[in-house]
Structure 1
Amino acid sequence: MPKVTAQGKTFECESGSNLRQVLLEHGIDVYNGNAKTINCRGLGTCGTCAVKVVGSVSEPQWNEKTRLGLPPHSGNSDRRLSCQTKVLGDVRVTKYDGFWGQGTEVVWS
C-alpha cells in the first residue's frame, strides 16, 4: 500500500485513491483561508486544492491541465490539484500559501 506523507504525518492508502479524499480523511486540510468554505468540493474546477506532489501519482488529465493553466496558476507550475490526483505509490505532499495554493511560501509539508 502506498504511503502518503503530509503535514508531518505518514499514513497508508489504497493504490488509486484520490489524494484530496485521503488527505481530508486523515485530518489534513488542503485549503487555505476562505477556500475551506469556497471550493468546488473536488470537481476540479476551482483550483484551490493545489499542492506539490513528489512521488508516484496519476498523470494530469485535460481538465486539470486546463485549470492549472489559468491565473493565478501557471501552466509551468509544479502543482497538482489534489482532487484530480490518484496516489499510485509513495508520495510527499507540500501545501503553499495563497488562496489557490499558488504562492511560494510553504504552509505545510
Structure 2
Amino acid sequence: MPKVLAQGKTIECVSKSNLRTILLQNGIDLYNDGAKVINCRGIGSCGTCAVKVESEISAANWRDRARRSLPPHSLTTNLLRNSQTQVLGDVKVTKFDGFWGQGSRIVWTPKG
C-alpha cells in the first residue's frame, strides 16, 4: 500500500486514491486563510489546494493543466492541485503559503 507523508503524518492508502480525500480524512490542513471557506470542494476549478508532491502520482489531468495555466499558478512550477491527483506510490507533500498555496514560505512539510 502506498504511503503519504504530510504534516508529520504517515498515511497508508489504496493505490489510485485521491490525494485530497486522503489528506482531509486524516486531518491534514490543506487550505490557507480564506481558502478554508472559499474553495471548490475538490471539483478542480479553484486551485487553492496546490501543493508540492514528490514521487509517484498520476499525470496531470486536463482540469489540473487548465487551472494551472492561469495566474497565480503556472504550468512551469512544481505545484499540483491535490484534488486532481491520484496516489500511485509513496509520496511526500509540502504546503506553501498564499491563498492559492503558491507562495514561497513553507506552511508544512512531509515531516511536520
Give the TM-score, by structure 1 length: 0.98
Q: Deviation digits for residues 16-68 of structure 1, max 9, x if unmatched?
A: 00000000000001110110110000011000000000010000011111101
Q: Unaligned stretches of 5+ in structure 1? A: none
List, as ranges, runs of 4+ consecutive aligned residues in structure 1 with deviation greater than 4 Å.
none
What SS does the aligned partner of 1:88 have? Answer: strand
Q: Deviation digits for residues 58-104 of structure 1, max 9, x if unmatched?
A: 00011111101100111201001100000000000000000000011
CA distance in structure 2 between the partners assigned to 1:69 and 1:30 by the alignment: 21
What SS does the aligned partner of 2:28 have? Answer: coil
Instruction: Tell me the percent identity.
Output: 61
Aligned residue runs from structure 1 range 86-105, under 5 A:
86-105=86-105
Partner residue in 2 for 1:22: 22
Which letter maps to 1:103? Answer: G
Which letter maps to 1:63? Answer: R
What SS does the aligned partner of 1:72 have? Answer: coil
Q: Give the number of aligned pairs.
A: 109
CA distance in structure 2 between the partners assigned to 1:11 and 1:17 by the alignment: 12
State which drifts further: 72-81 or 85-94: 72-81
Deviation at 1:11, TM superposition (A): 1.3
Partner residue in 1 for 2:57: 57
Give the TM-score, by structure 2 length: 0.95
Q: Unaligned stretches of 5+ in structure 2? A: none
CA distance in structure 2 between the partners assigned to 1:22 and 1:34 by the alignment: 22
